[in-house]
Chain A
Amino acid sequence: MSANISATLYLISGVLFILALRGLSSPETSRQGNLFGIIGMIIAISVTFLSVGNFTSGFIYVLIFLAIGGSIGAFIAYKIPMTAMPELVAGFHSLVGLAAVFVAISAFINPEAFDLGTPGNIKLASLIEMAIGAAVGAITFSGSVIAFLKLQGIMSGAPITFKGQHALNALILISIVILTFYLCSTQSSNLFWILIAVSFLIGFLIIIPIGGADMPVVISMLNSYSGWAAAGIGFTLENTALIITGALVGSSGAILSYIMCKGMNRSFFNVILGGFGATAETTGEKNKEQRPVKSGNADDAAFLMKNASSVIIVPGYGMAVAQAQHALREMVDTLKKNDIKVSYAIHPVAGRMPGHMNVLLAEANVPYDEVFELEEINNDFANADVAFVIGANDVTNPVAKTDPQSPIYGMPVLDVEKCKSVLFVKRSLSPGYAGIDNDLFYKENTLMLFADAKKMTEDITKNL
């Protein structure tokens, strides 16, 4: 196949990938978008086979390995519970990162196969691109592995910090730049291996100080990195599909990180440097005094809701942990039978990844046009009778609006306290991730429901 034809076909698959993302602008077009993505991928792979044109025994092995990986992927995709999506996405990011590293290594060992020169005499531009692709890929890999372990609970979600951490990270980053420079002038394979090893290390060090609730930012950031790694390799291979995709994925992840940071009113660097835990500890100590709390049972909650004409549900990570989404939808069905208007309010950082709550509600058959984002619904709380907070905490804390001393001051929150009454499902009075007390617990119109989210929701449904 001529180089021009294959380049054109790669361009087409790049365009199909753009359309795949474009489809996600609404749920109706999204399925079609996904199909475009699949077609784009099939084109890219077929073109590669045809342009290499080597249909010897090696080709059979390629198909075998493709089938092995494909069946593992398909198996995971069908088995994974929706609550585990953050872990899955983190795991997948690590694979993209590692694949980028492997391709870069292969290109370094055997540059002739990619038309990049000969070993020890690789074109300068290609070498720089290769080094960037390998380094970013390695960072993506080790960072995603740590994010995965934290999300899975294998590793503690608490930030791990030590003295001189930032200085060490800065030192490593500088050494990566220096290594790349010397790699280019000496073409030494030892330097290439060291560069990869150091990049693995920095990926690991960057993620360990970041706490569990900051995971939405981390996952988006790693998403972005995996894109830049792919783009780096795309430049090395002079492949348009890869360059376009890398740029798309890179900017997509960057935008998501930005949205997540804004949802927490924190700067990107503040999250990355892991500064949150430190401030939270000191404020947590101050609020030791006991304040009266009204607590109730499922019967009280059912009574309140039965007499309401509109209810707003505020789900959070706790709902995912308790797997309460189906029980919640059943409760809402019963409410709707009694002609009560129900809507859902989703905070941008609810859950452990962007859009986490939306997927869980969709899984429980909640129609997506009943689910609203913070800006869309925040004014409705004042007119609603009952707010049902299930598994959320910090995102409803009015302190963010009233107390400039609070670490979460300025963070956009849901105006839950404006509702006539608030039902707050929670295991105990313990503070949320930010380590601060929620003023909402002590409000006159708040009724605390101390129980497991799923069990409480089921009990309320029985009492309705």
Chain B
Amino acid sequence: MEIDPFIFRLSIFILSIFVGYYVVWSVTPSLHTPLMSVTNAISSVIIVGAIIAALSGDEGVIFSSSSIYGFLAIILAAVNIFGGFLVTQRMLAMYKKKKKSK
């Protein structure tokens, strides 16, 4: 019997939860705020769905009822991607070690 592809995706999902569990526990507490902003940025990979939706219109029709939602989602996700990564970078640039020259 063939295995439903859904089971493969479910396996990836479950294993990723475990990977996430161990990886996030190893994040140092002082970086918890950047952790939140970067998870924010990467969860905006939902833009993938938004792009497919935006380009789903028929030939010659750019803004159909379904593609409009796609375009709106692109804007929202893009705000998040750029905002999330850049603000994370800005924060991480501030974490400095003690100067040993003392």
List residues of chain A with CB under 8 Å of any chain B CB.
10, 13-14, 17-18, 20-22, 24-27, 30-31, 33-34, 37-38, 40-41, 44-45, 48-49, 52, 54, 56-59, 61-62, 65-74, 76-78, 80, 82, 85, 88-89, 92-93, 95-96, 98-100, 102-103, 105-107, 109-110, 112-114, 125, 219-220, 223, 226-227, 229-231, 233-253, 255-256, 259, 346, 348, 353-356, 358-359, 362-363, 365, 367-371, 373
Contact = CB atoms under 8 A, between A and B. Distances in A.
Overall SS of chain B's interface: helix
B35 A252 contact: yes
Interface in B31-51: 31-51
Given A44-B48, A61-B62, A358-B33, A106 B70 contact: yes
A37 B78 CA distance: 14
Interface of B: 5-6, 9, 12-14, 16-17, 19-21, 23-57, 59, 62, 64-67, 69-99
Contacts, number: 379
A420 B77 CA distance: 52
Given A76-B83, A355-B29, A65 B42 contact: no
Nearest to A11: B12
Overall SS of chain A's interface: helix
Contacts of A251: 17, 20-21, 24
Contact of A95 (B32, B51, B54, B77): B77
Given A58-B62, A355-B35, A99 B96 contact: no
A242 B44 CA distance: 9
A89 to B, nearest CB: 5
Contacts of A240: 9, 12
A48 B75 contact: no
Nearest to B94: A362
Of B32, B39, B79, B81, the most chain A CB neighbours within 10 A belong to: B39
